[in-house]
Structure 1
Amino acid sequence: MILFYLPLMASLTPFNSPSPLLAHQYYHQPPATVDNPCNFVLTFTELSYSITKTPKSPKNKHHAENATRTLLDSISGEVKTGEVLAVLGPSGSGKTTLMDALANRIDKSSLRGSVTLNDENLHGRLLRAISAYVMQDDLLYPMLTVEETLAFAAEVRLPRAVSASKKRERVQALIDQLNLRSSAKTIIGDEGHRGVSGGERRRVSIGTCIVHDPVILFLDEPTSGLDSTSAFMVVQVLHRIARSGSIVIMSIHQPSYRILGLLDWLIVLTRGRPAYSGPPHGLPEFFKVFGNPIPDGENPVEFALDLVSWLEETAPDAVMTLVTLNAMNHEARRRTTRREPFLPLQYAVRNSISVGRLVSGAMMDATAAVPASYANPVWIEVMALTRRSMTNMWRNSKIYALSLAQVLVTGFILATNFWRLGHAPKDAYLRGVFFNTALSAIFMSTVDTLAVLIQERYIYQRETAYNAYRHSSYVIANAVTTFLPLFVLSLSLSAMTFFAVGLVGGTDGLVFFFLALLAAFWAGSGFVTFISGVFSHVVIGYTVAAASFSYFILLGGFFIHRSSIPDHWIWLHYMSLFKYCYEALMQNEFGGESSSRCFSRGMQVFDVTTMANLPTAKKQEVLAAVGKELGMLNFSEDACLITGSDVLHEQAIGQLSKWNCLLVMLAWGFFFRLLFYICLVFGSWYKRKR
């Protein structure tokens, strides 16, 4: 088959010259000229990637042999500064896989071949500093405006050596570059809030990634879900970005005539193999040589994709012929094309920094061979992240208003049901019931934030994948942002219930009661934050969090006292968040000066028994008999039978002081946020493996 094509290929030059038809139909764009003098060339050679599926039946050798599936097979190409490369192909052809391979999102041990920039291998740190990856889904904070979204990106991506005025100028220039001037003051929006259009939203996503002028821009299906006009405007923006001095590589489903005129190079994939790789205007001649000329007036890409899909289903041998013909054309182009000279990578990066590109983490001097990992110190990142979250939270205040309303309703119900408790034996028990109910409501209410946390985590993962800011900065900002609502909720609940229920301690008791509720909110929200880092599915996370809180409450010391918990479950008692806050509140109520307060005198002991309705004389006789039996001569109706310390002793409370219990709760909150940080670090940079 190859021998058949050799004479033909010898008589042809590579398919680089546009046909007259294509020239007047859609090739109206000027040649690729680069304003920026820095020259980068991205080359990928013989990229291959396979995955191995575990055989369902190891005994079946034939099945075991078919367990390996090739997703990429010997794909090569080159794209330089100022050019747009589009990867096309039917569904499942390997477009996203090729994008991941070029963007270093596939583990090196699983990928064969090489990806170089200026003939030097790209390592992960450098690639993350000089590139950006725009995902297919647009995940943005819905209540921020277009201008605020881009301003945040500039604040974390541009170093503090760049003045605030320069950052504002960059944002305004970016708004114009993205054609977003008319919607600059419009919020992004979501299902419940009307915002920008789908095309504008996509351009905002692109803008957040290019605020620092990356050398390489990867985009996964940037026109997916957009109408033809919006799709054209997006690609037009990408064309301008490339011409301003970037390499743009994107996967695209089916470009229109107008979009095709904005592309410099195409790679059409068929089951992981290149069916065509070259300039768009080479398509007609290529398929004419193949024996399937493109009809006049038909979109060449649509024809190519339809033909490839049809051949995959009906003539696999013809697909291999197409792949072979493309390989021969690629080799002929490589031999006949003179390669433009370029600087070694180290000097090219230095030059880019010196002219203002690669400012994300740049050391801002020409001696920097590689940009630093992050553009700003931690405190600037924390301030920017906190400001963004606060703005989004303030504008989305309905959610937090509902949380406050929930706490107020809970406080009202608790206050009216436990109104002005006295010091009878029943009231001592009801105080414990009140603490148990209040803490249970607090812990369960923190689960409601899980959906928001998981949604934010997706945004975080995309922003940190290319070093927009540190993992630690996000965790700290999340804690700071969370604390203010928790403070308000704790203050509201304590103010509504402390005096209404009749809790003891005066001002000091109220302050500690408030701190204990705040610690409960803090520890509970920390646990939910940790769960959001472990589970990406809201329903699963909600189930795990609710079940865990139920176990904490069950073994926290109210329903089952510590002395009654079996040894094989005592570990869960000490891990229970409920335990420490409950014991702190009980000691605040029944310890200290209240430890000698009497909660059961003489005949009050009968109030919680079946003898409560006996005549007073009979009760006195029973008390006298019990006193005589116990050798207590003063065992009368006025004798104190149960004090505050007796209540604590009965429930095995007292291993830790109330202040130590409070510190343990605070430590739990910090500990779970540390675990959340660990989950983010190990789960944020995903690479595909075999």
Structure 2
Amino acid sequence: MDDQEVMDIEAQIENVNDDPTLPFSIFKKANLPIILKFENVVYTVKVKEQKNWLGQTKGKTEDKTILKGVNGIVKPGEILAMLGPSGSGKTSLLTALGGRVSEGKGKLTGNIAYNNKPFSKGVKRATGFVTQDDALYPHLTVTETLVFTALLRLPNSFKKQDKIKQAEAVVTELGLDRCKNTIIGGLFLRGVSGGERKRVSIGQEILINPSLLFLDEPTSGLDSTTAQRIVSILWELARGGRTVVTTIHQPSSRLFYMFDKILLLSEGNPIYFGLGSNAMDYFSSVGYSPSVERVNPSDFLLDIANGIGSDESQRPEALKTALVAVYKSNLLDNVINDMKGQDDHYNQSIESPGDSKHFGDWPTTWWQQFCVLLKRGLKQRRHDSFSGLKIGQIFVVSLLCGLLWWKTDLAHLQDQLGLLFFMTSFWGFFPLFQQIFTFPQERKMLEKERSSGMYRLSSYFMSRVVGDLPMELILPTIFLIITYWMAGLSPKPANFFLTLLILLVHVLVSGGLGLALGALVMDQKTATTLGSVIMLAFLLAGGFYVRHVPVFISWIKYISIGYYTYKLVILGQYTESEWYPCGEDGEMKCYVGDFEGIRHIGFHGGLVSAFALALMLVGYRVVAYIALMRIGKTKSG
């Protein structure tokens, strides 16, 4: 970027800040400048040794130090770029600086200060964090994505219409007008380009006009022109008084010189911290010059960090050790002195716009969060929930059941019981596997948004549960309407509606079990296997296949969803004193209560079964909620 371009952008920044009538702009100055200091940061995690072919862990867990005493300072208006080979600790350091180290995942020591104060909720609200993997909903458009984010993250000092205008202004500022009505897309869904996705992710964070902005590999996978545009945006944001910290793998020389400061890491050790323009001179001064005259600085620095120097006879490990020692003797004191010299600057209280006294710990109320999340969820999931494939599947199964059990009556009581048992089994498995993927699929999004303090977990959970109700209840209703009348079950309206009520409760309970398993395991394959085993155990131990179940395993039926549901649907269809044709020619009449397939179930205990299902309906969802509480929890926030 030449001097004229710099002057043009600086003039534009001044014009924006001098004109209060202009809408939100990425050029607008940060509300509160924040100086970021990190001293002797050490991060240690516990890692397990490799597993053998049986999946058994060899030996015990051991401590692995990811960061080994990293120091640095970044001031408002500066961009710090962290370079280093894969596994050097860049992302771990960025996560620590952004206050996002998850509880229980490692031990973080050292001092990280924001205007000489520790991480707080005020800092959290003034921080933007862009992850390497863009966690975005594929079926939402660019504008919808940013509008929903604005409605959730901007405080109530903004009216709803102002929040929408702010989101639209960000679309324009980031050059996304051309694709504003295009869906984000995903792996198998065509949408915006990679560069546009990255700008949407950045837009979500700058909506709140952050004082601190962290980005993890913002140019990863992008072509040089798109990467240049992304870094230019970061440069503009920094010139607005923001503190910008980013990891970057291998920038071009053009991008390299746009960064104010460089931190070079090698296996968790800092080997350079200072101005980007001085990096090459520093290594030359300590005896490590590039072997060719013209070289991309980042290529040279990565070679050095990997232990590859101009002297091919020197072993990589020896070179890395020497560089760490040289850093400590030549640069470390300067970095520490620079941090001490800033102790009196920016030493002020950090509060987000819209003081927490007015808005508590959250930018919006619980009800606002619930409504926005519900609307966003319905827009995103309507394509999956009301897909033709899923609806067609239910129609086919309903018609097939109706034809197989066509006009069965009490003369074929065993066949009717077979249909009721199939209904219980099918609507146990179907909702379970629909809901079991819910939270594993949304884990990245939930972690990202919860770490940003965007909403309460309770508002998210309730919006998810309520948003799934239409599909959970509509499909089994369609199934029963078709199958019930085709199969010739009891024609009394009371029997039909009672059966429908029992079936819907059964579906909600099975779906709740799926939510709980998904939230507990958070792995789709494992959760699916576990769900299959549990539902099969419920069916086998329920007494339908084996009448004389051994005592030591018979207890399983008392926690079986199907056991209670099957009992209730029988109670909903028949009475104990009802007659049915029996005998070889059907000339005799027998009591339904004496039928072999019903007698062992009995007509007693209906209230107990209803209470058990009601308890499961609530209990499974409580388990799911408690399991989700660990998502997005950080040590600093």
Measured after TM superposition, the shift of residue 318 of structure 1 is 3.3
Partners of 2:39 and 2:112 within 8 A in 1: yes
Cα separation, partners in 2 of 1:476 and 1:55, compared to 1, 3 Å:
closer
Query: What do the CA deviations read for 1:332-369 (whole angstroms, capped 9, x no partner)?
Result: 365479538534342xx24x52xxxxx5xx4376xxxx
Measured after TM superposition, the shift of residue 565 of structure 1 is 3.2
| Separation of aligned partners in 1, 2:78 and 2:299 | 22
2:96 corresponds to: 101
Measured after TM superposition, the shift of residue 102 of structure 1 is 1.6
SS at match of 1:193: coil
2:345 corresponds to: 342
| Separation of aligned partners in 2, 1:184 and 1:413 | 45
Partners of 1:156 and 1:468 within 8 A in 2: yes
Cα separation, partners in 2 of 1:663 and 1:683, compared to 1, 3 Å:
same
Partners of 2:273 and 2:335 within 8 A in 1: no
Task: Identify which of 369, 390, 406 aligns with 1:419.
Answer: 406
Measured after TM superposition, the shift of residue 560 of structure 1 is 3.8
Matched, 1:598 2:579: yes
Measured after TM superposition, the shift of residue 656 of structure 1 is 2.6
| Separation of aligned partners in 2, 1:198 and 1:251 | 18
Aligned pairs for 1:34-53 within 5 A: 35-36=29-30, 38-51=32-45
Task: Identify which of 80, 83, 94 aligns with 1:85.
Answer: 80
Matched, 1:559 2:545: yes
Partners of 1:516 and 1:584 within 8 A in 2: yes
Matched, 1:119 2:116: yes
1:400 corresponds to: 387
Matched residue type, 2:393: Q
Measured after TM superposition, the shift of residue 457 of structure 1 is 2.9
Measured after TM superposition, the shift of residue 201 of structure 1 is 0.8
Matched residue type, 1:401: G
1:16 corresponds to: none
Task: Identify which of 288, 291, 308 aligns with 2:305.
Answer: 308
| Separation of aligned partners in 1, 2:8 and 2:36 | 23
Measured after TM superposition, the shift of residue 233 of structure 1 is 1.9
Aligned pairs for 1:104-183 within 5 A: 104-106=99-101, 110-123=107-120, 125-183=121-179
Partners of 1:153 and 1:208 within 8 A in 2: yes
Matched, 1:512 2:490: no
Aligned pairs for 1:47-62 within 5 A: 47-51=41-45
Structure 1 stretch 22-31 or stretch 484-493: which is displaced more? 22-31
**TM-score with structure 2 length normalisation?**
0.87
How many matched pairs? 605
| Separation of aligned partners in 2, 1:263 and 1:28 | 17
| Separation of aligned partners in 1, 2:100 and 2:377 | 29
1:669 corresponds to: 617
Matched, 1:685 2:633: yes
Measured after TM superposition, the shift of residue 649 of structure 1 is 5.7
Cα separation, partners in 2 of 1:112 and 1:457, compared to 1, 3 Å:
closer
Partners of 2:116 and 2:343 within 8 A in 1: no
Structure 1 stretch 23-32 or stretch 111-120: which is displaced more? 23-32
Partners of 1:590 and 1:648 within 8 A in 2: no
| Separation of aligned partners in 2, 1:388 and 1:663 | 34
Measured after TM superposition, the shift of residue 599 of structure 1 is 1.5
Partners of 1:118 and 1:343 within 8 A in 2: yes
| Separation of aligned partners in 2, 1:493 and 1:229 | 54
Query: What do the CA deviations read for 1:277-313 (whole angstroms, capped 9, x no partner)?
Result: 0111011220220223355432212211112323498
Aligned pairs for 1:566-605 within 5 A: 566-591=550-575, 595-600=576-581, 604-605=582-583
Measured after TM superposition, the shift of residue 504 of structure 1 is 1.3
Task: Identify which of 385, 409, 427 aligns with 2:396.
Answer: 409
1:489 corresponds to: 475
Matched, 1:440 2:425: yes
| Separation of aligned partners in 1, 2:275 and 2:303 | 19
2:590 corresponds to: 641
| Separation of aligned partners in 2, 1:64 and 1:439 | 46
Partners of 1:439 and 1:578 within 8 A in 2: yes
SS at match of 2:281: helix
In structure 1, runs of 5+ residues without a counterpart are 1-21, 57-62, 354-358, 366-370, 609-636
Identity in percent:
27
Cα separation, partners in 2 of 1:544 and 1:501, compared to 1, 3 Å:
same
Task: Identify which of 209, 225, 248 aligns with 2:205.
Answer: 209
In structure 2, runs of 5+ residues without a counterpart are 15-27, 51-57
**TM-score with structure 1 length normalisation?**
0.81
| Separation of aligned partners in 1, 2:124 and 2:619 | 30
Measured after TM superposition, the shift of residue 64 of structure 1 is 10
Partners of 1:432 and 1:558 within 8 A in 2: no
2:356 corresponds to: 363
Cα separation, partners in 2 of 1:316 and 1:373, compared to 1, 3 Å:
same
SS at match of 1:120: coil
Measured after TM superposition, the shift of residue 412 of structure 1 is 0.7
| Separation of aligned partners in 2, 1:418 and 1:457 | 43
Task: Identify which of 287, 293, 304 aligns with 1:291.
Answer: 287
Q: Which one has the largest radius of gyration? A: 1
Query: What do the CA deviations read for 1:229-256 (whole angstroms, capped 9, x no partner)?
Result: 2222222222222223322211110111
Query: What do the CA deviations read for 1:151-210 (whole angstroms, capped 9, x no partner)?
Result: 111111122342012101210121123221211111001233211001111121222233
2:512 corresponds to: 526
Partners of 2:100 and 2:451 within 8 A in 1: no
Cα separation, partners in 2 of 1:204 and 1:550, compared to 1, 3 Å:
same
Cα separation, partners in 2 of 1:415 and 1:336, compared to 1, 3 Å:
closer
1:390 corresponds to: 378
